[in-house]
Amino acid sequence: MTETNDATAAEQRRLGAVSSIAEVAARHVNHLAEVRAGDLPEPLTRLGAPPGWRLANLQGSPVAPARVLVYGQHPDGSWDGCETIRVFGFTGDLPADVVRANADCTLRGVGAEQITAGALAAPPAAAVAVRSSGSFSTPGRAVWAQFSTYVANPTPAARGLLIEHSLVIDSRCRTTLNDDFTNLSNGIHHAFLTAIGDTPPAQPVTR
């Protein structure tokens, strides 16, 4: 959240300090590094966006996501919805059970409630995909968040691929934006499967 007050700045630091699967992965694999936008797998460069969502830059952020989208940005810098995509390459193997066990680590780190977590479709011999969601409070409002993680271990032709996809929605807008975050979630899942060579079925577009 980007409201310009001390409480929000403190909350940003709190959210930035909690664990992510990328941090967990760094303890198990080698040479984990964020992939620059110009080096992304081609399917990830073709992701679309629902109407009303626009690209945003993170000024002064310690991370460099592959994409940040915001919806309903307000004059104070806050917004109704935000999508963030981070992409990493690595060598070595990341065990599937480590990914599954830590699917909700960020939500647990921020003290979220009503946490759910589960597996997503992925070819079992080549990849693992998990998703978690829950609700938590930031200064001045409550939000609902969804974190999806996609992992493909290295092959002789390619480094390992780790994608972190997050959606954070103002709880008051969750119903309104339901179709949007469904389409954003389907889009990144489809792109991951395509990037690792597993041809997914065509995804329906929710209108």
Q: What is the pLDDT of residue 1?
A: 35
Q: For residues 59 and 61, what is the distance between their CA atoms, to the nearest angstrom?
A: 6
Q: What is the pLDDT of residue 42?
A: 95
Provide the Cα torsion 99, 100, 102, 105; round to 10°: 120
Among 20, 1, 13, 16, which Cα is nearest to 138's? 1
pLDDT tens digits, one per residue of 5-20:
333 333 445 556 778 9
pLDDT tens digits, one per residue of 129-161:
999 999 999 877 899 999 999 999 999 888 999
Tell me whether residue 151 is in a domain: yes
User: Would you say 119 and 100 are in contact if contact means Cβ atoms under 8 Å apart?
Assistant: yes
If one compares 167 and 65, the residue with the highest pLDDT of the two is 167
User: Would you say 77 and 2 are in contact if contact means Cβ atoms under 8 Å apart?
Assistant: yes
Percent of the chain with pLDDT over 90: 69
Mean of pLDDT values over 107-134:
95
| pLDDT band, residue 54 (cuts 50/70/90) | very high
Percent of the chain with pLDDT over 70: 84
Tell me whether residue 46 is in a domain: yes
State which residues form the domain around 44.
6-195
CATH number at residue 97: 3.40.1000.10
Tell me whether residue 204 is in a domain: no
Question: What is the model's pTM?
Answer: 0.87
Strands 81-91 and 30-34: antiparallel
Mean of pLDDT values over 86-111:
95
Tell me whether residue 1 is in a domain: no
Mean of pLDDT values over 165-177:
95
Tell me whether residue 82 is in a domain: yes
Instruction: Return mean pLDDT, the chain.
Output: 86
Total domains, the chain: 1
